[in-house]
Amino acid sequence: MGAEAMTVRLPRSVAYEVTYRCNHRCLFCSCPWYAPESRYHCGNELDVEQWNRVTDLLIEKGVVSFSISGGEALMKEGLIDILSHIHRRLDEHQLKSPIVLISNGRLVNEQWLRAFHDLGVHLSMSLPGYSTFKFHTGVDNADGVLEMFRQAKAIGLTTTANITVTKQNLHELFETASIALINGAGSILLNRFLPGGRGLSNIDQLLLSRQEINEMLSVCEEVLALANRYGNVGTEIPLCVIDNPDSLRHLHVGYRCAAAKGFFVVDPSGQLRTCNHSPHVVGHVFSEPMISDVQYWNMFQNSDFKPSVCKGCDDILRCDCGCREVANILCGDPTAADNSIF
Ligand code: SF4
Ligand code: SF4
Ligand code: SF4
């Protein structure tokens, strides 16, 4: 192993994308393999035995927290065996973190909810609007998702409503967040629409302006305050874009990019990326060393990507200027300004 490769550390959290397949066609989907004219290489999906080996390998390397998505995770054959293995290994190592499962909700039913409950899963289901659900996803299932939030609450399964906010559903964000909480969702995860994947074809109709981003934050804060609940924004926002950060008491906004520092991604065929949003493959989980593009990895791990527009800013240590992968996707350079905002 070269000296350069030895500097690589794995974050303590991993996101498994267990399948490339999905039964929705979301306009905002950022999966890199759905990008127009994508050159993303989709290999053969790992089977259950291979995913279980990945879990053993990563726990040995210090990973303690797992999230599962896709595509649509529930379309993966043997998903329950993959979850059971993670649950067993976490238990053996006395690790208490829940397995976060991100789903569009379409295949969720009572049996899945009970299995998730028994396996220590926290379920995050997507609700990108109520009246605009079908427009955004291609499928008319908002009521189905709400029913699953109700049933999950009834059996004590913890949940999050994952709301991707676009220009087309901002007008109903108050209602969307409210009905999610009223129907049993435990918390809210807001994601502003970020260009990437299929979303690259829909930027004009989906991308929020700065003013709309602030509206998104204040509306969600209002709902959470009324309900006495808490939520997070999953897609980083530049600090200087937010009009009044101190007013956000129930909504936590991240300003730092967590890719390759807080978490990393294993794609359906075992390829590694810094973030779900990233189309850039940096290695493979069964290679030794795992990370082959050390330069790219280390740029994220060491935050060596501060845009020149931020030079001299007093907040530079606590703000990474929005999404670094969006800067790369839109400008071909992770050290450029986040062009989805600036
Ligand atoms: S955003 Fe999720 S549910 Fe929608 S198409 Fe993409 S992977 Fe499927
Ligand atoms: S670091 Fe850049 S994006 Fe963040 S607050 Fe400063 S100028 Fe704005
Ligand atoms: S690349 Fe960084 S800023 Fe962008 S979505 Fe991923 S973690 Fe967030």
pLDDT of 120:
95
pLDDT of 341:
83
Domain 10-304: CATH superfamily is Aldolase class I (3.20.20.70)
What digits encode the pLDDT tens for the residues 47-57? 999 999 999 99
4 falls in which pLDDT band (50, 70, 90)? Answer: very low
Would you say residue 339 has pLDDT above 90?
Answer: no
Nearest ligand for residue 240 CA: 2
95 falls in which pLDDT band (50, 70, 90)? Answer: very high
Per-residue pLDDT averaged across 81-102, rounded?
96
pLDDT of 1:
46
7 falls in which pLDDT band (50, 70, 90)? Answer: low
The three-state secondary structure class of 97 is coil
Question: In whole angstroms, how large is the CA radius of gyration of the chain?
Answer: 19
Say whether the peptide bond before residue 289 is cis (omega within 30 degrees of 0).
yes
340 falls in which pLDDT band (50, 70, 90)? Answer: confident
Would you say residue 109 has pLDDT above 90?
Answer: yes
Mutate to test the pocket of ligand 1, among 20, 76, 106, 137 (most ligand atoms within 8 A of CB): 137
H/E run at residue 17: strand 13-17
Per-residue pLDDT averaged across 69-93, rounded?
97
Q: Is 238 in the pocket of ligand 2 (CB under 6 A)?
A: yes
Q: Is 64 in the pocket of ligand 2 (CB under 6 A)?
A: no
What digits encode the pLDDT tens for the residues 148-168? 999 999 999 999 999 999 999
> What does the alpha-carbon distance between residue 316 and residue 38 come to, in Å, rounded to a whole number?
33
What digits encode the pLDDT tens for the residues 11-68? 999 999 999 999 999 999 999 999 999 999 999 999 999 999 999 999 999 999 999 9
| Residue with CA at minimum distance from ligand 3 atom 6 | 275
Residue ranges covered by each domain of the chain: 10-304
Q: Is 71 in the pocket of ligand 1 (CB under 6 A)?
A: yes
What digits encode the pLDDT tens for the residues 218-256? 999 999 999 999 999 998 899 999 999 999 999 999 999
Mutate to test the pocket of ligand 1, among 29, 67, 124, 145 (most ligand atoms within 8 A of CB): 29
Q: Please report, rounded to a whole number, the percentage of residues in the chain having pLDDT higher than 90.
A: 93
Closest CA to 266 of 117, 29, 61: 61
**Category of 250 on φ-ψ map: left (φ > 0), alpha (ψ -120 to 50) or beta:** alpha
Which pair of tokens denotes residue 237? 């926002």
What digits encode the pLDDT tens for the residues 182-206? 999 999 999 999 999 999 999 999 9
Would you say residue 76 has pLDDT above 70?
Answer: yes
Q: Is 319 in the pocket of ligand 2 (CB under 6 A)?
A: yes
pLDDT of 148:
98
| Residue with CA at minimum distance from ligand 3 atom 3 | 323
Would you say residue 3 has pLDDT above 50?
Answer: no
Q: Is 340 in the pocket of ligand 3 (CB under 6 A)?
A: no
What one-letter code names the amino acid at 128?
P
**pTM assigned to the model:** 0.96
